[in-house]
Structure 1
């Protein structure tokens, strides 16, 4: 049953009252005839209405209150401007006049279907496929603004393969086909979602809040964006779902419920909010901020998608938009065609008789009435519009004089259709195709391959999916106390650029909210971990929330927010703050440092003392005390001790290949000669005493041959061990980088530890044998028994070298070398002091005792 609706102006809005048994025409329409008609579905009027609950008569319930999105009127004007510009351009369609036929979708599926069918039908007869006297030469349809509006239109238009050029952002669907008649003048939404992530990564914002419209598009947004967040180390603190606006009382209820939680979100430490939604759903977000009514706005960075624009209904003209100062949005790329601003300046209520949108727009934009009907019923009477009002006087949230991104898409869509028609008629010039014979579906083949530059020089062509190859403008919104704003382009996003070059942004041109003391502001769950610390995840918290713990010993972190600490190279060490590696210093024992000077002093002192004793013994070689106990052994012992002292010089200075080969082996052989000499002297004492007994057979063993044989044989064994060591695994210079944290030790690696201990053990064996023999000979009846002093010297040797082994492996660096040198000096000095100090005392201090009578006991005299 058909019904009609009459439009009645009231004080603030327009209402449509429907009567039964009447046909319902579409209230808002803009038609201009032409040889070919471009259809359009705008989204300017929004109805809030109470749903039918059958408690009253349906005729009383179907009362709808209309609100005008005044800013969207520019979409209509952009289409009209493009059509008029083409009609005045003889180079595109010289013999064809374009017309247009526009309806409104009212953000409603039913009205969208109805308007689409109306475009496909003959004028004023909503019967598709019916041809009457008035021919409908529709070639393409431009629309719609929202994703769902475009989908509703496509449901009908794809049946007739009529080209549909959507000027709003639309997500690609899996069932989109290459031969579809649906063309997207805006980039795919997936591109701007990736752009948002790149924007967050660029400014290192990893702790954000999400505002999402509670519908299918919002869910798609979340399903796309949340995985991208995780891949790029971004967390969301909350997801606030913005309720869709369907009913008047439902709208108010959703406002009040959301406003209860919104103050806590504004006061949180999240400084960046990402907003996704489509008008009129974004009105809910405006309402929340209006209800919160903060005395001084808390600064937040709002990152909004291309769907959202700073727009207000007439009842919102006094709402404060300072909350959004410094917002960043990815706007669909736009440019300013020449003459568009002049065209807007000529628009007035009487500019076009068939414009069914201008009256509602003008009254709500300028808050006046073009007609005086029903003014007496108004609670708040309005003034009468003069018709001389200027669009330039409107604030930005109500209307903009610069062409917006969506209007620019419409402008390009009209030109794309015109160029396709131009190609068709140019290619069929011989056939003399008449405009009334052109079918809409014929444009598809030409639209898919269309490529041209528009009037401002931007390229227009589609990809294989029917999407216009275009990018986004990164826009910074600067608001002012009078509710005006300026859009400042601060960068661009080109989805088709090579990886790493898609986002370009001029940070220095960005304007931030005055509330921020640091620019760009931080938005993190907690403070960054400084160098020297690493992140440790908090249990039960998102991965962006973490504790900062110092790096473990030997590791550093040289950047902020490192997941783990790293080790320095072997030749470097961490500083105290553990945020930088410094080169390690090479160390070895030198004669210039205090420890080296002390050691050299001891070496020279002992060496000179040994030389002094040797000279003394040579001068007094014929005295009884020197002749006693084999004079040649005494010389051998003194010379070997002198060489032992001098061998210590091999341990001082930078280790080289030669010094490493000679260090241990030279000392081992020389010291083995010294101990062998002591052993020979001890055995000589024992044999000499045994030879004094009558009839003793030992007498034949007493003499220099026996002593020399002991020295040579014992020394040759050590020489053999050292030779085997040098052949099998000789010592070599080695850089120890691990023992000390901040230094590298240049030392001699012993090569074979087994051979080192064999050589050292052999010296210990000789010392033990010597000590044992001397111990049993210590009480032999001599006035000067040398065995007693040899016993003491071997005790000194053992007390020095027994603790040497554990000490050698418990210390690091040049202290190891110093300990070995001190062990050599101490053991050598022990032999020198214990054996030769009593003799030197007699020779130098008591020469009267240096005679034969003193050496032989009296009972033997």
Structure 2
């Protein structure tokens, strides 16, 4: 069994609890199509492995996937549910698995702060956790996060490379904005240190989180407006960039040279939101392009009626096609009814957009790392030895040493800190005549 931890929503309703009765569970808001795609990439890899006669013959991989809504507290809660097998009814998968099963590995989370919290909790149980997009350099510390591995490079390299990029263009007077979490704070600290060594001066450095009150965001806008530097280095997650971009649009903050991280620089959803062309000409570092054959067709073939994760898929389907299912909890009289047979191929939105393929590839590689490790432990040749006791510590030790090639010929392995080797592409946002953006490498 594999666990999956994703943020299918990016936020939650703020609620004042009285503690006279037991607090209600989080009410999640703001659907996040990106993480839904990442979960689909995980299911694609599992299905491909289960259909393979070479890898884990006679063994089926299953999954339990949870939604954390971007909440660190909820991330810890679901990690414990996965670790001890006491599955509260909040798991998304309703597959007919009656046997309680502790998962052999956990896939996720997408950002660094939740990963740090989860890895702290499950590290003591030696359960391997493989993230596809958590880049904070802090996660390389194996004394704190002994069972954490990732298929995305550490920001130890990105922060330094970003400073070199700024220096290359002779921009020595810059402003900086970061996400106020472990990703932004650690990444920016390393950038600042390297930048100072290279003779780059920071006029201001401000932090921001998507749930901040309006007056804090206004202060940031005032800081940028009164500054004299025209270059802004943005160590932001895509979720925070989406929020701040919306605010900047109202203030017509154009004419700045943006320098970005992999968190948002190749995000087509962010580009589509930038209707006021604030980010035109942005330059930054991104994960190298990748291709996973079959994944696009798999994602576009999703149907809410035959999916095992009914409740979740229903909500996505309703959002994709602006309709409601008859039996839907949130059914309101004025929207048209969903049939479940709507055609995804003609839909243009962030779910059908495949520009996050490098991250799908990271999820894919993570699932395959688990499969190759299990294949080795179960002594699989023509068949696998089902009597072998699966011990998480043994799985973790072997996974750290695993080396394999994907079907696309990419070499996958982890260094002593559980990190892959660092490779980046430089991306430049070039506006087109049609009003869209080309990500030029």
User: The TM-score by the shorter chain falls in which range?
Assistant: 0.7 to 0.9
Q: What is the SS of the residue equivalent to 2:27?
A: strand
Unaligned runs of 5+ in 2: 90-96
Distance 2:344 2:172 in 1: 45
Match of 1:750 in 2: none
Q: What is the SS of the residue equivalent to 2:415?
A: coil
Match of 1:464 in 2: 416
Counterpart among 361, 364, 367 of residue 316 in structure 2: 361
The structure-2 alpha-carbon separation of the partners of 1:362 and 1:125, relative to structure 1 and needing over 3 Å to count, comes to closer
Q: How does 1:302-701 map to 2 (within 5 A)?
A: 302-308=258-264, 310=267, 320=275, 322-371=277-326, 381-387=334-340, 388-390=342-344, 393-396=347-350, 400-426=353-379, 433-434=385-386, 437-478=389-430, 485-488=437-440, 490=441
Match of 2:92 in 1: none
Instruction: Note if contact 1:50-1:61 (Cα within 8 Å) is conserved in structure 2.
Output: no
Cα-to-partner distance string for 1:376-419 (whole Å, 9 max, x where unaligned): 868xx4433343131662234x6522443332211110111111
The structure-2 alpha-carbon separation of the partners of 1:215 and 1:183, relative to structure 1 and needing over 3 Å to count, comes to closer
Shift, 1:48, TM fit: 3.0
The structure-2 alpha-carbon separation of the partners of 1:350 and 1:377, relative to structure 1 and needing over 3 Å to count, comes to closer
Match of 1:80 in 2: 43
Distance 1:258 1:102 in 2: 34
The structure-2 alpha-carbon separation of the partners of 1:437 and 1:300, relative to structure 1 and needing over 3 Å to count, comes to same
Match of 2:249 in 1: 290
Q: What is the SS of the residue equivalent to 2:65?
A: strand
Instruction: Note if contact 1:162-1:441 (Cα within 8 Å) is conserved in structure 2.
Output: yes
Q: What is the SS of the residue equivalent to 2:379?
A: helix
Instruction: Note if contact 2:300-2:352 (Cα within 8 Å) is conserved in structure 1.
Output: no
Match of 2:180 in 1: 214
The structure-2 alpha-carbon separation of the partners of 1:333 and 1:51, relative to structure 1 and needing over 3 Å to count, comes to same
Distance 2:145 2:219 in 1: 49
The structure-2 alpha-carbon separation of the partners of 1:319 and 1:206, relative to structure 1 and needing over 3 Å to count, comes to closer
Instruction: Note if contact 1:158-1:180 (Cα within 8 Å) is conserved in structure 2.
Output: yes
The structure-2 alpha-carbon separation of the partners of 1:426 and 1:300, relative to structure 1 and needing over 3 Å to count, comes to same
Query: What is the count of residue pairs matched by the alignment?
Result: 431
Instruction: Note if contact 2:84-2:102 (Cα within 8 Å) is conserved in structure 1.
Output: no
Shift, 1:147, TM fit: 1.0
Cα-to-partner distance string for 1:817-858 (whole Å, 9 max, x where unaligned): xxxxxxxxxxxxxxxxxxxxxxxxxxxxxxxxxxxxxxxxxx
Shift, 1:85, TM fit: 1.4
Shift, 1:175, TM fit: 4.8
The structure-2 alpha-carbon separation of the partners of 1:198 and 1:226, relative to structure 1 and needing over 3 Å to count, comes to same
Distance 1:61 1:119 in 2: 21
TM-score if structure 1 supplies the norm length? 0.46
Instruction: Note if contact 1:47-1:65 (Cα within 8 Å) is conserved in structure 2.
Output: yes
Instruction: Note if contact 1:326-1:478 (Cα within 8 Å) is conserved in structure 2.
Output: yes
Shift, 1:170, TM fit: 2.6
The structure-2 alpha-carbon separation of the partners of 1:401 and 1:449, relative to structure 1 and needing over 3 Å to count, comes to same
Instruction: Note if contact 1:178-1:466 (Cα within 8 Å) is conserved in structure 2.
Output: no
Shift, 1:481, TM fit: 8.3
Task: Please identify the structure whose Cα radius of gyration is greater.
Answer: 1
Cα-to-partner distance string for 1:588-635 (whole Å, 9 max, x where unaligned): xxxxxxxxxxxxxxxxxxxxxxxxxxxxxxxxxxxxxxxxxxxxxxxx
TM-score if structure 2 supplies the norm length? 0.85
Counterpart among 138, 143, 147 of residue 108 in structure 2: 143
Counterpart among 29, 39, 53 of residue 3 in structure 2: 39
The structure-2 alpha-carbon separation of the partners of 1:483 and 1:367, relative to structure 1 and needing over 3 Å to count, comes to farther
Distance 1:154 1:60 in 2: 26
Distance 2:36 2:435 in 1: 20
Match of 1:100 in 2: 63
Which structure's relative contact order is higher, taking Cα pairs within 8 Å and 6+ residues apart?
2
Q: How does 1:219-230 map to 2 (within 5 A)?
A: 219-230=185-196
Distance 1:348 1:360 in 2: 12
Shift, 1:68, TM fit: 0.8
Tell me whether 1:191 sits opposite 2:146 in the alignment.
no
Instruction: Note if contact 1:451-1:460 (Cα within 8 Å) is conserved in structure 2.
Output: yes
The structure-2 alpha-carbon separation of the partners of 1:406 and 1:230, relative to structure 1 and needing over 3 Å to count, comes to same
Q: RMSD of the alignment, in Å?
A: 3.4
Distance 1:470 1:60 in 2: 44
Cα-to-partner distance string for 1:335-386 (whole Å, 9 max, x where unaligned): 11111222222123224133443222222334332347687868xx443334
Distance 1:95 1:106 in 2: 35
Distance 1:352 1:204 in 2: 53
Unaligned runs of 5+ in 1: 1-36, 127-131, 246-250, 491-861
